[in-house]
Amino acid sequence: MNMQSFGLMDMQLRIDPDARTLYIVLGHSGEMAMESRELDERRTLEYDLKGDLVGVEFLDIDEGIDLDGVPAASRIARALGIMRAVEWTWSEGQG
């Protein structure tokens, strides 16, 4: 497994290029995800017991990352922009 992790602003981005996934941990509260809601077959939102969004999972990221309908999309987009400026080993489909 070639997992990479980036701590940016108030979130952490975890990339697994072998599985072609990106998981974003929102905030630093340490709250565990207790409920998952699929937006579609490639995007899952995770919420804590209080109903706050604590994570977002994106599958098949080599096909791009769709932020449409994702809460905190503007924060995530900024973090992805910063991440692209950082050297990381997976060169396919950084879209």
Distance, in Å, from the CA atom of 91 to the CA atom of 48, rounded to the nearest integer, reads 33
Mean pLDDT for the chain?
79
Backbone angles phi, psi at 59, to 5 degrees: -105, 160
Domain spans of the chain, in order of start: 4-85
| pTM more than 0.85 | no
Residue 13 Rama label (left phi>0; alpha psi -120 to 50; beta):
beta
pLDDT per residue as tens digits for the range 15-29: 898 899 999 988 765
DSSP state letter for 82: H
Residue 47 dihedral angles phi and psi, to the nearest 5°: -125, 150
